[in-house]
Structure 1
Amino acid sequence: MSRPIPNSRRTWIVTWAVLCAAGIAATYGLNASSEPPPEKPVSARCAALIDDIEGQLAKNEREGHNDAVVTFSRIRNADEDDCSDALHEHFAGDK
């Protein structure tokens, strides 16, 4: 027959479980009430590229090509910034 757990050990286990539940609830509450992170500034080059893509998408929609695939090819210099993050953040909601 197994030995019963002393009350003090049970108390510690219950206290630990209550504190974990309170921590999870507090974390959930803080995450739900926090403001969304501020948008990162987009460079002028990336903003122009996003505007070009938006214009092409609007043109395709006006022409009735809603299911068309829009592709862009640009040669990038080594000193130019990569706009892939800005493009992904801007168009991620369109999925």
Structure 2
Amino acid sequence: MPKPIRMSRRSWIAAWAVLCAAGLAATAGLNASSAPAPRPEKPVSAECAKRIADIETQLAKAKREDKGDGVLAFSRIQVGTEDDCRGDLRNHFRGDQ
């Protein structure tokens, strides 16, 4: 059985450093190329804009009063209507705008 090739400690460290640098460069390249394109802003209906403004007002009021654990519940949204604003509310408060 042939003897395995022996590598010095410096060779192992150099090979490890080269592989790490290549991995970092590949990661940086993939992160730069996969940046999402900005989405065009969708118009919000007047009813939804009014609801969003109302919720923003209630949130600001709750923040000023600083009561409880900061949990607010809203039950004004009517499910099943044509313009229930769920998507617009989700996009606005998730920060997609």
State the shift of 1:74 in Å: 2.4
Aligned residues: 66
- The residue number in structure 1 matching 2:70 is 68
- The residue number in structure 2 matching 1:9 is none
Name the aligned partner's letter for residue 54 of structure 1: E
- The residue number in structure 1 matching 2:7 is none
The 3 A distance-change label for structure 1 pair 79 and 88 is closer
- The residue number in structure 2 matching 1:46 is 48
- Taking structure 2 as the reference length, the TM-score comes to 0.54
State the shift of 1:79 in Å: 5.4
Runs of 4+ in 1 over 4 A off after TM superposition: 77-80
Name the aligned partner's letter for residue 74 of structure 1: R
State the shift of 1:73 in Å: 2.0
Deviations 1:15-65 (A, max 9, x none): xxxxxxxxxx79x63x43x64011111000000000000000000110113
% same residue: 53
- The residue number in structure 1 matching 2:84 is 82
Distance between the aligned counterparts of 1:39 and 1:74, measured in 2? Answer: 25
Any stretches of 5+ residues in structure 2 without a counterpart?
1-28
The alignment's C-alpha RMSD in Å is: 2.6
State the shift of 1:68 in Å: 2.4
Any stretches of 5+ residues in structure 1 without a counterpart?
1-24
Q: Is the 8 A contact 1:60 1:66 kept in 2?
A: no
